[in-house]
Amino acid sequence: MHKSDITCPSCGSGFRRIQLTSEPGTKGEYRCPVCDTALEQFSGDKFIAYRLTVQPELSRVMK
Ligand SMILES: [Zn+2]
């Protein structure tokens, strides 16, 4: 299992990216749920999951 942190270049949202090389994934892409920027294209040969960790728009509203 490989973990890394990704930041959306468009809106600054932070993501935790988890990659499992031992399991097949789904072909497609992951888009930022905040601004809809495509962050990664999946080839489907490994399982990749994204989890939103920092949401700048929401934290600004809550202050
Ligand atoms: Zn974004």
Length of the chain (residues) = 63
Is residue 63 one of the residues assigned to a domain? Answer: no
pLDDT of residue 59: 53
- pLDDT-based confidence at 46, cuts 50/70/90? very high
Q: Which helix (H) or strand (E) holds 59?
A: helix 56-62
Q: Which residues are within 8 A (CB) of 59 and not within 5 positions of it... i.e. 6 or more apart?
A: none
Is residue 15 one of the residues assigned to a domain? Answer: yes
Determine the structural domain holding residue 48 and report its residue range. Answer: 2-55
Residue 45 CA to ligand 1 center (angstroms) comes to 25
Give the pLDDT mean for 27-48. Answer: 95
Give the pLDDT mean for 9-26. Answer: 94
Written as six digits, the tokens of 11 are: 């809106």
Is residue 21 one of the residues assigned to a domain? Answer: yes
Task: With a cut of 60, say whether residue 25 has pLDDT above it.
Answer: yes
Q: What's the total number of domains in the chain?
A: 1
Residue 55 CA to ligand 1 center (angstroms) comes to 9
Residue 58 CA to ligand 1 center (angstroms) comes to 12
Indicate yes or no: pTM above 0.85. Answer: no
Q: Do the Cβ atoms of 4 and 48 come closer than 8 Å?
A: no
